[in-house]
Amino acid sequence: MTFTTLNERLAALPPKTYHPLAALTAAGQIDEAFLELLLDAAELSGDTQRLIGFAAGHLHMAKAGVPVEDVIRMAKRQQRRINLAWSPSRWKDEHNKLSRAETLARLSANNETYDLSAYEAHLPEAARRTLIRSSKRLGFEGLRQRHCIASYHERIMRGGCAIASVIIEGQRWTVQLERTGIADTPLAITQIKTRLNGIAPPDVRRKIHALMDIKQHPEAITSAPAAGKLYLDNLRRVLPHLEGAGIESVTVTFSGSGDSGAIDWAWFSPEQPEEFSQTQVSQLRTTSFFEDGQWAKAVVPETMSLRDALENIADDYLAEADVNWYDGDGGYGELVIDVAARSVSLDINVNFTESTNEFCQTKNIDTGNIED
């Protein structure tokens, strides 16, 4: 039987593989694109037993620059088998073999011209001249650079990306551009590679971003923000809204059990109409992005409702407390913001036959110091 939709393909997996992947997808911890990649890997290898372990291994290898995703994509197109137990060096060897096959196939096929107008509209003249506009030219780029760029032909034809070939200080760099859907920053550079998949150093990345007139994520934000800091920053952003409305305190409750937990509600004192909880506030959130062949993290501002902001603040503080209040018999608790005192308290109770208090702490929102 042939399964066509993503859900049908997922449901065809053995229960021990299906249930974890379905739960991760439902929770938003993996997206449909990554799920499809895993399903392709399972079908190309005929191995569903290793799939969960492979998912974790793939993320580690991708972070180290091992081109696992490219191998799976090319193997699917070329109808080649893969092995989920391959070492990083074997994945790289397979990438080289499949890349050469893709390049030769692209050079022997009819030359096709790419419609890059959606990209050209946002690039300066000098950058437009670097764009690869035909399939033959794409094949030659892959042959010269000895990487898998020729396999991107179909994606370019669909408008999913554009490829540029840029010379910086005598060295050629292959640059992948994608549309973001964001008005202020319509294009992003998602990969910069040189010969044999070499990754661009920071000074080369800066020069290429400048040539393309595309904003670059600052170098300083490529590591995660210090733990325990972000929710306090966000509390400082929320306090003026609470003070302006005459709010004395806010209580955010949470509860969980059986490997599942959630924020229940946010209560204002004095009580406020529902519209107040929908007040739009600016918050800082950590986002992950893939740039120049590696994953990085950035702290970016995001506008959201006051209720969502309070729930996120509670989630972040709970993560710092590191108390398991959701497994087994579960637990419950509350986060309380004292507006006048400019303090936040977190109280967590865990159920064992009877409840025990596992965490109780009050912090000054401005200084982050723990109060008695």
| Each residue's pLDDT tens digit, 358-372 | 667 777 778 777 776
Tokens of 241: 């809204």
**φ and ψ at residue 318, rounded to 5 degrees:** -60, -40
Tell me, what's the pLDDT at 219? 43
- Spatial distance between the Cα atoms of 290 and 294, rounded to a whole number of angstroms: 6
Please give the average per-residue pLDDT across 194-201, as a whole number: 84
User: E-strand spans in 180-243?
Assistant: 187-193
With 90 as the cut, is the pLDDT of residue 296 above it?
A: no
316: Cβ–Cβ under 8 A, 6 or more apart, which residues?
Answer: 230, 231, 234
Return the DSSP state at 366.
T
Contact predicate 212/127, CB 8 Å? yes
Tell me, what's the pLDDT at 295? 58
- Spatial distance between the Cα atoms of 146 and 101, rounded to a whole number of angstroms: 11
| Integer-rounded Cα radius of gyration of the chain | 25
Tokens of 88: 């990083």
- pLDDT category at 114 given cuts 50, 70, 90 is very high
With 50 as the cut, is the pLDDT of residue 111 above it?
A: yes
Burial class (CB in 10 A: 0-12, 13-18, 19+), 95: buried
Contact predicate 324/193, CB 8 Å? no
Contact predicate 363/355, CB 8 Å? no
With 60 as the cut, is the pLDDT of residue 262 above it?
A: yes
Average pLDDT score over the chain: 84
pLDDT per residue as tens digits for the range 64-108 = 778 899 999 999 989 999 999 999 989 988 988 898 888 888 878
Tell me, what's the pLDDT at 185? 82
Of 37-46, 195-204, 261-270, 285-294, where does mean pLDDT reach its minimum? 285-294
User: Highest-confidence range of 93-107, 159-173, 208-222, 225-239, by mean pLDDT?
Assistant: 159-173
Tell me, what's the pLDDT at 221? 39
Please give the average per-residue pLDDT across 220-249, as a whole number: 75
pTM here is 0.48
Please give the average per-residue pLDDT across 342-369, as a whole number: 73
- pLDDT category at 352 given cuts 50, 70, 90 is low
CB atoms within 10 A of CB 312: 19
